[in-house]
Chains A and B, each alone.
Chain A
Amino acid sequence: MLRVEGLGHHFDGVEALAEIDLEIAEHDVVGLIGPNGSGKSTLLNMITGIYKPSAGQIRFRERIISGMVPHEIVSLGIARTFQNLRIYKRMTVADNIWAAQHSLPGVSLRDFRSGKQDDQIEQLIDVVGLGPRRDELAQTLPLADQRRLELARALVRSPDLLLLDEPAGGMTPVETQSMAALIRDVALPGRTCIIIEHKMDLISALCGRICVLNFGRKIAEGPPDDVLKHPRVLEAYLGMDGARHA
């Protein structure tokens, strides 16, 4: 479904990504890990068209998307969340989710809100557990709920490819488990997914395959058990000495 070929990106002289090759088939759930600054978010930014590659290309369903504008790419069926959490803080939970589906064809310019309930949206709000808070301003929600809201917004348009950037960022272990369950039960079924995370338990639980980046390059890829014991991966996270003692 998604093919990244020889992707590279330069940033003010820094090589953020280099020679990235990645192939993701339909319904794969791929984890993307690596130390801070290894280029994980940059990769997502490039898939969604925020950055243009300086080398290589990205194909979505065999179609080259790496030169396209973000709103076009997203309309092909890709959605994402952000590492530093992006939602509309000045809108209510319900409005946030309603607003996420504005671009769908058939939602006309003059659609009124006036009490009309869209069942699908209401279901989604309940499914992520935000039912009781649907009329609160997003900025008043605790972090964990804001992340759920962000996830719900990404799901509204039933994307085929879902990109999650640290969906459990800032959460306690209990909240993380809850989020992992939510992703597993609601987000993953029938969908292809790339998940960036630092929390290995979440990655191991959800992902069939992990890809590891370090300094913008891929250093390992494979099933969780193999990758997490891979010497180069340990070296990347723990340093040379740490890897030797691990």
Chain B
Amino acid sequence: MMDEYVVSVISNMGMISFLALSAYLLLLTGEISFGQQAYFAISAYLSAMATAMWGWPLWAGLLLGAAAAAFAAGLIGVLTLRLRGLYFSIATLAFAEMVRLLFVNFHYQVMIDGEPVGPDGAEGFRDIRWIFEHNVSAFEYMAIILAVLTVVVTLFFIAERSRLGSIFRMLGEDPLLTELQGLNVIRYKVLASCLSGFIAGIGGAFYAHFATYLEPQIFNVMLGVHGLVYGLIGGLGTALGPLIGVALDIGFLEAVRAIQGYRMIVFGGLVAVLLIFMPRGILDEERVHWLRMTWRRWRNAAR
């Protein structure tokens, strides 16, 4: 069987991928969000409260958390409709920090078996033990995460070749033109926001039960920025882009023991250099298009 360390790394990659995909979705619609970690956090806390304090099953907690995250994201989407570019980005940053600071002040505990359980401000939220109490092994949990991730990525692929995905990309490239195509841009922007919140929420719920311990400090700007960067370097042409970014940082760089402790320096430098030559990532729209055409030509030639 796989050794524990590998299982843990892969699980990490899986959970962060949700965050990366959520930032990616907004990047497609032309918005740079520095605040996806807020939705990750909201879902993490809420799903953990559901399972650890109210005795809900994991899947129910996850849905609750993700739904709450989607709602929050939709709300922010509406509030920030007038904002473009950097103004939007800073607003999302401000919101995410507000959420984090609210959790620092959030105290809500219940007694279970004589012990207080629940979020305790900066002290954190311990004992989120659902997967241990239900005998889910680390390997099984990883498999669950990957399964759900596969579903989400598949949905992205389907959407990519459908009307919705095309509308999102149109929004990202030229919102005015899109409005003049007869499309209600507001509706799609808010929809994109909600979806991105939901996706981040799934990741957050998984994270809460994986780590069994939450504290507000985890959900800081750095987390959100990492999610954003993964999509941008992996490429904005396909949902695989953010996954590549995740794999590059957490997978590859983590594996290279020689740079242990210097990972951020290497990764940071790598990102900066990569962005000089590939400003829209490794698998950007042009490259994906080229790949698609090449595949088509190859397939036609084979006939």
Which residues of A are in contact with B by a Cβ distance under 8 Å?
Answer: 48, 50, 69-71, 74-75, 79-80, 82, 86-92, 95, 98-100, 102-104, 107-114, 135, 137, 157
Contacts and interface: CB of A to CB of B under 8 A. Distances in A.
B180 A48 contact: yes
A102 B181 contact: yes
Interface residues of B, number: 24
Contacts of B162: 109-113
A109 B285 contact: no
Contacts of B286: 90, 137
A71 B184 contact: yes
Interface in B138-193: 158, 161-164, 166-167, 169-170, 173-174, 176-177, 179-185
B166 A114 contact: no
Contact of A75 (B161, B176, B182): B182
Given A86-B177, A88-B170, A109-B163, A71 B289 contact: no
B284 to A, nearest CB: 9
B174 to A, nearest CB: 6
The 9 closest A-B CB pairs, nearest first, are A103-B182, A74-B182, A90-B285, A75-B182, A113-B161, A86-B177, A70-B179, A103-B183, A71-B179
A135 B295 CA distance: 13
B182 to A, nearest CB: 3
B180 A70 contact: yes
B79 interface: no
A104 B182 CA distance: 8
A102 B167 contact: yes
Given A102-B181, A109-B164, A112-B158, 4 more contacts: A88-B177, A90-B285, A91-B173, A103-B181
* Most chain B Cβ neighbours within 10 Å, of A70, A74, A86, A137: A70
Nearest to B290: A137
A146 B166 CA distance: 19
Given A110-B162, A113-B161, A99 B179 contact: no
Contacts of A69: 179
Nearest to A91: B169
Nearest to B286: A137
B64 to A, nearest CB: 26
A65 to B, nearest CB: 14
B293 interface: yes
A71 B158 CA distance: 26
A215 B182 CA distance: 31
Contacts of B181: 71, 74, 99-100, 102-103
Contacts of B184: 71
B174 A86 contact: yes
Contacts of A91: 166, 169, 173
Interface string B256-300: 000000000000000000000000000001100100010000000
Contact of A111 (B163, B169, B182): B163
Contact of A88 (B173, B176, B183): B173
25 contacts: A50-B176, A69-B179, A71-B179, A71-B180, A71-B183, A86-B174, A86-B177, A87-B177, A88-B173, A88-B174, A88-B177, A90-B173, A90-B286, A91-B173, A98-B166, A100-B181, A102-B166, A102-B167, A102-B183, A103-B183, A110-B162, A113-B161, A135-B293, A137-B286, A157-B182
A48 B174 CA distance: 16
A154 B180 CA distance: 10
A133 B289 CA distance: 14
* Most chain A Cβ neighbours within 10 Å, of B163, B174, B180: B180
A110 B289 CA distance: 22
Nearest to A87: B177
A48 B113 CA distance: 66
Contacts of A137: 285-286, 289
Nearest to A82: B177
